[in-house]
Structure 1
């Protein structure tokens, strides 16, 4: 990204490219479409102040599009996770588990809804563009993203065994990671931060996937606790380890105040 060229034009081009990719990925690559939606929402967060009242409806449309695709994505992730778990503990027959889990709703209506929502966002951006942006606008969004991720980390520290604050922290980590990725051409020192955030987000994602699988098993009914006791025990142990690892990583990533962090990575 050339710092002196019209930033709003460059960012708009990236956003419309991500939208086109997300639309094209439905329904053949639901995971890829949802990843693009997350990146788009991160970009909107970066531009929240310049967008003003336009931010909320744009963000809501992309969020709802991703939710419309969540059922198929969750089933796919659970199947992949069970294959991974089976490699480590074949004696628990993890590969047999997906057949016992009820499928999530993944109707073609959801696909159509997602495409329609994403098309509406693309049309809005084509008609209205983006407000004129300066490096200062992007810097403010970057600092705010770091601040939110740091705040969520502190909340997660209060109860490491609670999956909910860890999941909320993970979302902010991913937003901040995308911000760093987008803005590395302006501030090259962000490259190392992005790589570290990517590793952190992956670990938190692994934690969340295991938590979701645990809940799917428990939702099978009261008898599931006894039938799947060993599987549930393995999932809890792995979640505990992943949470501890992530919180240790954050001690370095989020140790500085937002102001000090900004100065270190951009000066």
Structure 2
């Protein structure tokens, strides 16, 4: 089953089927490790994000379920994150190197890459219990699947439409607040919140694409563009935080200065590029769009 909800089917059954499919895929990645442990973890964590976005859609009528299961999956994902997060920093330096044309900056980035690769390998070697944690995550995924089968929602189209509209409006208002914060005070946390809003919006568009396929696909492509830009911006914020916390990792003062200059310059460029896209992605009124989602759902469900 694809990552979308069919409006002409009972909502609860569709919801459970989509969540179970994503969790089952995560189980296969973690159990079989077809491309190695770290790729398996990366792929599983992407499925966890999709499940958590799906669970947002039932928040108004299943607060306890959503809170409990969101925490279960979030805690599980974090338990597997150390090596993947360290690998992402290496990839971030590679991204910066691909943007750089200055020899001195390239040399500083090469030094940083070596340091971060060594750090990643040390973290990986220190995690002797990683296979056990992956096995535990498989068990937790099965528990999450079992929990789905106790879920009971009102499947009437009007009730489902009202639920979806309420969630949609809340998420859109959060996105608009994040944009305003980014415009007025461009700090890393504001852009991180905007990225999370964009990710959720992109996944919700995918989940509800059957109610208006052409428009949802167009909106999804634009949202994905925003998420990709802000993903790089967030990775640079994480890298900047590590540089400030552990400057000794990154060589002498000249190397450190060139590295920070490359991070800051690229961050500023990404933020400048992302804001107009965000304003376009979230240009429609939150109230109007949420009402339209409800109307389209009821129409498709009938």
Same fold (TM over 0.5): yes
Aligned to 1:82: 93
Aligned to 1:98: 113
Aligned match for 1:157, one of 183, 197, 210: 183
DSSP 3-state at the match of 1:82: helix
Matches within 5 A, 1:19-98: 19-26=23-30, 27=37, 28-89=39-100, 91=103, 92-93=106-107, 94-98=109-113
Deviates more, 1:213-222 or 1:147-156: 213-222
Aligned to 2:300: none
Deviation at 1:110, TM superposition (A): 3.8
Q: Does 1:118 align with 2:118?
A: no
Mapped to 2, the partners of 1:105 and 1:50 lie a distance apart of 42
DSSP 3-state at the match of 1:228: helix
Q: Does 1:254 align with 2:282?
A: yes
Mapped to 1, the partners of 2:185 and 2:175 lie a distance apart of 16
Name the Cα RMSD after superposition. 2.3
- Bigger Rg over Cα: 2
Matches within 5 A, 1:148-187: 148-160=174-186, 162-187=187-212
TM-score, normalised with respect to structure 1: 0.89
Deviation at 1:113, TM superposition (A): 4.1
Deviates more, 1:203-212 or 1:83-92: 83-92
Aligned to 1:7: 11
Distance 1:110 1:216, change over 3 A: farther
Distance 1:223 1:110, change over 3 A: closer
Deviation at 1:250, TM superposition (A): 1.9
Mapped to 2, the partners of 1:259 and 1:88 lie a distance apart of 40
Aligned to 1:216: 242
What residue ranges of structure 2 are gaps of 5+ in the alignment?
31-36, 297-302
Deviation at 1:193, TM superposition (A): 1.4
Aligned to 2:168: 142
Mapped to 2, the partners of 1:111 and 1:158 lie a distance apart of 42
Deviation at 1:192, TM superposition (A): 1.5
Deviation at 1:59, TM superposition (A): 0.5
Deviations 1:52-78 (A, max 9, x none): 321111010111111112212212212
Deviations 1:205-224 (A, max 9, x none): 01011111222222323684
Distance 1:173 1:130, change over 3 A: farther
Deviation at 1:35, TM superposition (A): 1.2
**Greater relative contact order (Cα < 8 A, sep 6+):** 2
